[in-house]
Amino acid sequence: MALCTDYLIHERSYQRKRRNPDFVGWMDRVNTESHLAAVGEWMAAVPPCRLLELGCGAGDQSLYLAARGFDCVGVDIAPTAVAWAQEKAASEGLAAKFHVGDVLALPFPDASFDHVLDGSCWHCIIGEDRGRFLAEAARVLRPGGTFTTITMINGCKYAGAMEYDAERRIQWMEGFAVRYWTTEAEVLRDAAAAGLEVARSKIRGVSESYPEEILFIDLIL
Ligand SMILES: C[S@@+](CC[C@H](N)C(=O)[O-])C[C@H]1O[C@@H](n2cnc3c(N)ncnc32)[C@H](O)[C@@H]1O
């Protein structure tokens, strides 16, 4: 099957999730809370700074970090998710800002952030776009700035209703390639190509109901 992508497929998912009271954003409350605990543990080593979240969705990670002193900006391709994030920021009285935009052509000037956080977005980006994603992250980082990616690796453990191609490590939905499971070796190769060096990394699971292996890695420009 050819690698067709449609990143706006996430908008259709958010429209369904927004109507479902079990969902607080991309995930339900239990999975969101355990994911935020893992993200919070990792981000505790990063001093509060001006931070951009790529693929911020309904804003939970940015809002969690904004409540801990970060000056957060989030960007996501799904308008329903961005509106949801803006509503949460207003109701929680947090100053985080959320924008509709494509991570492959970020609507921000060069060197405008101290830290870029991959909001579990890079594993949604397929094929040659994956290099563009890292190049854009590096472009908006100031020299010496840092980039955290939180990305599924080493193959899908739970495909759910979606078809999984184990040979290409790609998951399909509605005929589109929607997820890519990279490897640590590929991340190191792609980071080097974008001029980023590894600062620290760790592979961990997130929760029993979400069995994927997740690579947390900090890269420095
Ligand atoms: C797995 S979800 C995670 C959302 C959020 N960071 C969270 O933790 O709840 C990945 C997000 O990436 C967004 N996304 C996918 N492709 C994108 C693109 N090309 N540009 C911007 N956002 C994109 C999706 O809309 C989705 O919100």
Strands of 163-165's sheet in order across: 163-165, 170-173, 176-180
For the cut 70, the answer to whether the pLDDT of residue 152 exceeds it is: yes
pLDDT at 211: 78
Question: What is the arithmetic mean of pLDDT over 58-80?
Answer: 98
User: What is the residue whose two structure tokens read 């790609």?
Assistant: 170
For the cut 70, the answer to whether the pLDDT of residue 189 exceeds it is: yes
How confident is the prediction for the chain on average, in pLDDT?
95
| pTM summary value | 0.96
Q: Does ligand 1 lie within 6 Å of residue 84's CB atom?
A: no
Q: Does ligand 1 lie within 6 Å of residue 56's CB atom?
A: yes
pLDDT tens for 31-59 read 899 899 999 999 999 999 999 999 999 99
Percent of the chain with pLDDT over 70: 96
pLDDT tens for 167-183 read 999 999 989 999 999 99
Q: Whose CA is nearest to atom 9 of ligand 1?
A: 26
Q: What is the DSSP string of 81-115?
A: HHHHHHHHHHHHT---EEEE--TTS-SS-TT-EEE
Residue 192's φ and ψ, nearest 5 degrees, are -60, -40
Q: Does ligand 1 lie within 6 Å of residue 77's CB atom?
A: yes
pLDDT at 206: 62
Query: What separation in Å is there between the alpha carbon of 78 and the centre of ligand 1?
Result: 8
pLDDT at 192: 95
Q: Does ligand 1 lie within 6 Å of residue 61's CB atom?
A: yes
User: What is the residue whose two structure tokens read 């420095």?
Assistant: 220
- Residues 121 and 61: beta-carbon distance below 8 Å: no
pLDDT at 101: 98
pLDDT at 3: 84
Between 161 and 131, the more confident residue is 131
219: left (phi over 0), alpha (psi -120 to 50) or beta: beta
pLDDT at 212: 86
Q: Does ligand 1 lie within 6 Å of residue 78's CB atom?
A: yes
- Residues 147 and 141: beta-carbon distance below 8 Å: yes
Q: Give 1's pLDDT tier (boundaries 50, 70, 90).
A: low
pLDDT tens for 128-151 read 999 999 999 999 999 999 999 999
